[in-house]
A = this chain, B = another copy of it.
Amino acid sequence: MTKIEMAHGAGGRIMQRLLQEVIIPSFSIRKLGSIGLDEMDDGATLPIGNTGLIVTADAHTVQPLFFPGGNIGTLAACGTINDLAVMGAAPTAMTNTIIVEEGFEIDTLHEIVRSMNDVIEPLGTAMIAGDTKVMPKGTLDGLVMSTTGIGVLYLNAAIADAGVREGDDIIVTGPIGDHGTALLAHREGLKFETNLASDVAPLWEPIRNCLDVSGFHIHAMKDPTRGGLAVALNEFAAKSHVEIEIEDGLVPVRPAVQSLCDILGLSPFHIACEGRAIMAVDSSVTSDVLDTLARFRTTDNACVIGKAHKGASRVLMKTAIGGRKVLQVPLGEPVPRVC
C-alpha cells in the first residue's frame, strides 16, 4: 500500500500501522515525561517544574459541519476537553487553528467558534492562541480545524491506558454509537431515524467528581472515538497486558442505534462516540463512581460492562447465550469523516 486510503485516518489497525511505521518513528525525540508519541495515548505528559501537564492534539474534519447534537466547533472543543479529562487533567488552555474555504459564510464560521466557547467557558478553559488560513474555492471542502489542549493533572498523576489492573471493573459512561450513527443517518438523509443525535459532550465535570470520590482507584480512562468501544477496550487490554471480558447484554445501546446498525450491517462496538468514556476502576470504588456519574446528565446511564483479569491481551465478549468471542480491532471506523 503506497497511497493514503480513508482507513489510514479511521482509528483502526490500518491507521495504527501508518502511525507506527511512518509518522512516529520519523521523530527522534518523542516524549518529555512518561507518556509521549509511542504510547499512542489520549495525550502526552509534559512535566514543567513541579507541575504535571497533559498535552493533546486533534484535527477535526467532520462532515457535515452541523449535525444533530452539535457542530464541528462543539466536537473540537469536547474532543479536546475529553482527551485531557481521561488522562486526569483539568482543561486549562486550548489553541485552535481554522482552515476555511474561500466563499464560506462568515456567519457560519461565527456560529462554529461560538459553539466552541459554549463548551469551554463553563469549564474555565482559556482559548489562548490560534491561526486562521483560507484556501481557494475548490481546494477544501468547507472548513477543518485543529485543536491542542493543555491541562494540569488534577491528582498530579497521569491516568494512562496502560494502568488497567486485574480485577478492575470496566465502566462505560453511557450508550455507545450515538455520534457515528447520528452523523451517518443525517448525512444519508435517513429520515426514519428521527431520534438519533450525537452524544458529543464535555466530560470533565463528571470525571473530576469521580476523581474526588475515588482518588487513585481510577486506574485507566479512555474516550471511545474513532473505531468505537472495540478499539478503546483493545487498547486497554494491549497496553495493560490484561484480558478484558465484557458482557454483550450489559453494553448500553439505544434501540435507534441498534436498528440503524442492523439495517446497515454495522456493529455499534465499532462506531465513534464523542461524549463517552470507559473507565477501569478498582472494584472497591465502583459503586461510588457509578453514584457520582449518575448525578450528571451526560453520564447518568453509566454502568459496569465487564471486568479485567489475568490473561492474554485481548477483549472477550460474552454473548447472551453464554458463548465467548474475541472483540477485534476493526480495520477502520466504518463511518468516514466522523470527527
Contact = CB atoms under 8 A, between A and B. Distances in A.
B23 A128 contact: no
A113 B26 CA distance: 6
A305 interface: no
Given A6-B102, A22-B110, A109-B22, A135 B141 contact: yes
Nearest to A33: B128
A59 B133 contact: yes
Given A30-B126, A117-B26, A146 B97 contact: yes
Nearest to A46: B93
A100 interface: yes
A96 B204 CA distance: 24
Contact of A132 (B5, B8, B130): B8
A44 B58 CA distance: 20
Interface stretch (A48-56, A178-186, A237-245): A48-56
A199 to B, nearest CB: 20
Interface string A43-74: 11010111101011111110100000000000
Contacts of A36: 126, 128-129
Contact of A53 (B48, B57, B102, B104): B48
A37 interface: yes
B150 A9 contact: no
A128 B48 contact: no
Contacts of A100: 4, 8-9
Interface string A1-17: 11111111110000100
A139 interface: yes
Interface in A111-128: 113-114, 116-117, 120-121, 124-128
A136 B337 contact: yes
Q: How large is the interface on A (under 10, 10 to 19, 20 to 34, 35 or more residues)?
A: 35 or more
Contacts of A4: 100-106, 109, 134
A56 B106 contact: no
A55 B150 contact: yes
A154 to B, nearest CB: 14
Contact of A37 (B30, B31, B55, B127): B127
A44 B128 contact: yes
A28 interface: yes
Contacts of A99: 59, 61, 144, 146
A312 interface: no
Interface string A137-164: 0011100101010101000000000000
A129 B56 CA distance: 6
B55 A93 contact: yes
Contacts of A113: 22-23, 26-27
Given A57-B129, A95-B148, 7 more contacts: A2-B105, A2-B107, A32-B128, A36-B128, A59-B133, A61-B133, A146-B146
Interface of A: 1-10, 15, 18-19, 22-23, 26-32, 36-37, 43-44, 46, 48-51, 53, 55-61, 63, 92-93, 95-107, 109-110, 113-114, 116-117, 120-121, 124-136, 139-141, 144, 146, 148, 150, 152, 336-337
